[in-house]
Amino acid sequence: MQITVWVNGVEHVREVEPRLLLVHLLRDELGLTGTHWGCDTSNCGACTVWMDDVPVKSCTVLAVMAGGRRVRTVEGLEGPFGLDQVQLSFIRCHGLQCGFCTPGMLMTARWLLDHNPDPTEAEIREAIAGQTCRCTGYENIVRSIRHAAAAENARDGAA
């Protein structure tokens, strides 16, 4: 099947097998290896991307379902002025260890802050509940998201 998909603002036209998963289109066909493939069952969340501005686990979405849609991957977080505030906060607050879950965490955190600029700790934990981190106790991840929210709110308040 031929599909057209916009990934991080770039149009891609591809012939794909109907059974091809979006995660494999991104990684194997488009070379966007920031999206990690961890479980193939939607349990870990490492493959989380946005499809039309909604987080989805790309290991359970067929590539043909992305046809005609917009997909944003972790590679698309960086803006014209550098790393996204969520990325910077994960670095500053040690929100990652091995880094395997990080792409999914970053995409989920960015979506949360876009929809709730000042989330409580409970709201952050609820948002990342579909993400599995096997290295941390989530404390630094939550701290990183809170730091990103505070930094963005301080910036927006100063503007």
pTM of the complete model: 0.93
Q: Which CATH number applies to 85-158: 3.20.20.140, 1.10.10.10, 1.10.150.120, 1.10.287.4070? A: 1.10.150.120
pLDDT score recorded for residue 39 = 80
Kindly state the average pLDDT of the residues 125-131: 95
Kindly state the average pLDDT of the residues 59-77: 97
pLDDT score recorded for residue 55 = 96
The Cα 41–Cα 12 span in angstroms is 26
Kindly state the average pLDDT of the residues 117-143: 94
The Cα 117–Cα 136 span in angstroms is 24
Query: For 47-66, how does the pLDDT look when each residue is reduced to its tens digit (9 = 90+)?
Result: 999 999 999 999 999 999 99
Amino acid symbol at 16:
V
Q: Positive or negative CA dihedral for 8, 14, 19, 24?
A: negative
Is a pLDDT exceeding 70 seen at residue 94?
A: yes
DSSP letter, residue 26: I
pLDDT score recorded for residue 57 = 96
Q: Which CATH number applies to 2-76: 3.30.450.30, 3.30.110.30, 3.10.20.30, 2.40.10.480? A: 3.10.20.30
Closest CA to 113 of 86, 92, 132: 86
